[in-house]
């Protein structure tokens, strides 16, 4: 039996298996490929994942979130104190170690962070076993590059308590490159790759040198003050302001109401990565009043504009501290759920020079990397000079070191000339059967084209 891969994040966890010649991120029993890293305690049971997240409104004091933040740390550690101040579940000092105080009907329990991590990892084990139809023992687990020895040991112990035999702990930037088979196809050329990982509670940017199939970390920058939850909070504050404007009730200081708005804002944020607008609905938000509000992607981007700028700054810091320029970077890998936000992707793309062909026309490469779990969806906002009246998007496939093979071409004609750039909204979708669907829309005129490539051609 092949080993499985486990990512244990601050807010979510996921598991991948190698099946039918590719790595596949497995869906859990709710049909989602990521599971909230949340554990709730009720009477004689522990609830893990989406059910625990949904029950936080009524059971916040006994619901543990972001346990990775304190895993392997002492009680006096600065990160532990930040976690203690932010979490709704009480954190106490027991032998200079943080413990969670769980208050049940007739008893009080003190739960160690390793025990919480064990329950989450056991959920990942069950998810993998359900997909494979057999028992799973061996696992490779990702860890942040900055994880100390004590934190790695605590994670390993939790995994072993969950029933895993841990073959290796691998740094997250290297895991990202391996997942996309970067640097493994060529053993002679040297290149630089930037890994941008924006998760729920933290941002890390890492520059690696890839040479002969080996990865060398040149520099990394981590910022725990920015993450997807900051975007969710900004949207939730907007929803609270809209509720106040409509009903003359201020719920910004009502913890339960704000938690409901956070849940609604989180779902809307995910929808806005692929849709132009999202509807937020909260049943009985305050005094029996239901709340409904439609949020456009443009509004969301405006609300988070300062946060987006803060999310981009670590890239500039990394390049400066590593002694690299944007032109030195050969590839950029985006990881983490928040890196799917279209505006962020556009801002990152603008930091790096566009590839230009011999005639001086911009060449746009929209790729799904080898080994990408299917089904997959990638969104790109491309740009072209406003003076052009038409443009083409060519799709190529390359296997290993072979020459690229052109699969198809999309042509947008009769574009109206304009002073500003043409913005081309491009969505690439690959289904489980290997077929690829590509759609392009010029935003100002609405002119669009789409094409579907059969699985035989795209395989």
423 and 345 part of one domain: no
My answer on whether 116 and 244 are in the same domain is no
| Chain position carrying tokens 């395989």 | 459
**386 vs 148, higher pLDDT:** 148
Short-list 305, 304, 310, 302, CA closest to 205: 310
Q: Which residue has the higher pLDDT, 427 or 193?
A: 193
Residue 360 predicted with pLDDT over 50 = no
Q: Is the pLDDT of residue 388 over 60?
A: yes
Burial (CB count within 10 angstroms: exposed 0-12, middle 13-18, buried 19+), residue 61: middle
Q: Given its phi and psi angles, is residue 144 left (phi above 0), alpha (psi -120 to 50 degrees) or beta? A: beta
Residues 333 and 220 in one domain: yes
Amino acid 362: pLDDT = 36
The whole-number pLDDT of residue 180 equals 77
32 and 52 together in one domain: yes
Looking at the structure, do residues 291 and 302 belong to the same domain, yes or no? yes
Buried b / exposed e over 168-184, threshold 16 CB at 10 Å, is ebebbbbbbbbbbebbe
Cis peptide before 2 (omega within 30 of 0): no
Asked if 140 and 95 sit in the same domain, the reply is yes
Report the share of the chain in percent with pLDDT over 90: 53
Same domain, 232 and 159: no
Residues 6 or more apart whose Cβ sits within 8 Å of residue 451:
408, 410, 437, 438
Examine the fold and report which residue of 146, 176, 206 is the final residue of a domain before the chain moves on.
Answer: 176
Which of the given ranges, 27-36, 400-409, 427-436, has the highest pLDDT on average? 27-36
- DSSP-derived 3-state class of residue 330: coil
Identify any residues that bridge with 49 across adjacent strands, giving them in sequence order: none
C-alpha span between 162 and 127 (Å, rounded):
13
The verdict on 225 and 272 lying in the same domain is yes
* CATH code for the domain in which residue 17 is found: 3.30.420.40
pLDDT for the residue numbered 21: 64
- The CATH number of whichever domain residue 382 belongs to comes to 2.60.34.10
Confidence band for 18, pLDDT divided at 50, 70 and 90:
confident
Read off the pLDDT of each residue in 280-307 and give the average, rounded to a whole number.
Answer: 93
Distance CA 15, CA 336 (A): 14
Owner of token pair 């790109």: 380
For residue 456, the model assigns a pLDDT of 54
Q: Which residue has the higher pLDDT, 197 or 362?
A: 197
Query: What is the mean predicted confidence (pLDDT) over 24-33?
Result: 88
CATH number of the domain encompassing residue 282: 3.90.640.10
Residue 419 has pLDDT above 80, yes or no: no
Statement to judge: residues 202 and 339 lie in one domain:
yes
pLDDT at residue 186 in the model: 57
Identify whether residues 56 and 35 lie together within a single domain: yes
pLDDT, mean of residues 399-412: 70
Give me the mean pLDDT over the 119-125 stretch: 96
Could you list the residue range(s) of the whole structural domain that residue 49 is in? 4-176
Last residue of a domain, one of 176, 204, 237: 176
Secondary structure class of 396 (helix, strand, coil): strand
Q: Both 333 and 379 in a single domain?
A: no
Average pLDDT over residues 127-151: 91
On the question of pLDDT at 364 being above 80, the answer is no
pLDDT value of residue 232: 96
Of the three residues 176, 209, 228, the one that is the final residue of a domain is 176
Indicate if 280 and 333 belong to the same structural domain. Answer: yes
The structural domain count of the chain equals 3
Nearest to 65 by CA among 98, 47, 84, 39: 39
pLDDT of residue 433: 77
pTM: 0.74
């Amino acid at each position: 039996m092949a080993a499985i891969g486990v990512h244990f994040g601050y807010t979510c966890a996921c598991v991948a298996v190698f099946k039918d010649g590719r790595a596949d991120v497995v869906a859990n029993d709710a049909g989602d490929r990521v599971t909230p890293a949340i554990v709730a305690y009720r009477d004689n049971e522990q609830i893990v994942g989406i059910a625990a997240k949904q029950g936080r409104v009524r059971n916040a004091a006994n619901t543990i979130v972001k346990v990775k933040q304190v895993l392997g740390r002492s009680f006096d550690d600065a990160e532990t104190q930040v976690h203690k101040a932010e979490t709704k579940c009480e954190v106490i000092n027991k032998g200079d170690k943080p413990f969670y105080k769980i208050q049940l009907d007739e008893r009080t329990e003190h739960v160690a962070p390793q025990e919480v991590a064990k329950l989450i990892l056991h959920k990942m084990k069950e998810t993998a076993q359900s997909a494979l139809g057999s028992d799973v023992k061996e696992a490779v687990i990702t860890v942040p590059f900055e994880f100390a020895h004590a934190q790695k040991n605590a994670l390993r112990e939790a995994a072993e308590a969950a029933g895993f035999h841990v073959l290796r702990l691998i740094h997250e930037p290297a895991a990202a490159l391996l997942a996309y088979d970067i640097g493994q196809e060529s053993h002679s050329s040297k290149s630089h790759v930037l890994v941008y990982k924006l998760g729920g509670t933290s941002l890390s940017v890492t520059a690696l040198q890839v040479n002969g199939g080996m990865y060398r970390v040149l520099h990394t920058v981590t910022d725990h003050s920015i993450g997807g939850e900051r975007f969710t909070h900004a949207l939730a504050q907007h929803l609270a302001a809209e509720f106040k404007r409509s009903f003359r009730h201020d719920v910004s200081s009502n913890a339960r109401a704000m938690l409901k708005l956070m849940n609604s804002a989180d779902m809307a944020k995910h929808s806005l990565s692929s849709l132009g607008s999202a509807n937020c609905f909260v049943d009985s938000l305050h005094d029996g009043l239901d709340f409904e509000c439609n949020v456009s992607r443009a509004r969301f981007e405006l609300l988070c504009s300062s946060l987006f700028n803060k999310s981009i700054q670590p890239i500039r810091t990394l390049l400066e501290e590593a002694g690299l320029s944007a032109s030195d970077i050969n590839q950029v890998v985006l990881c983490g759920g928040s890196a799917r936000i279209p505006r962020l992707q556009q801002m990152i793309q603008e930091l790096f020079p566009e590839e230009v062909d011999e005639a001086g026309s911009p060449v746009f490469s929209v790729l799904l990397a080898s080994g990408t779990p299917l089904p997959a969806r990638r969104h790109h906002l491309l740009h072209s000079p406003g003076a052009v009246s038409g443009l083409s998007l060519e799709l190529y496939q390359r296997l290993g070191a072979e020459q690229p093979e052109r699969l198809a071409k999309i042509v947008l004609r009769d574009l109206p000339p304009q002073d500003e750039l043409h913005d081309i909204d491009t969505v690439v979708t690959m289904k489980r059967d290997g077929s690829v669907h590509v759609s392009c829309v010029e935003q100002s005129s609405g002119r669009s084209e789409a094409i579907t490539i059969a699985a035989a051609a795209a395989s």
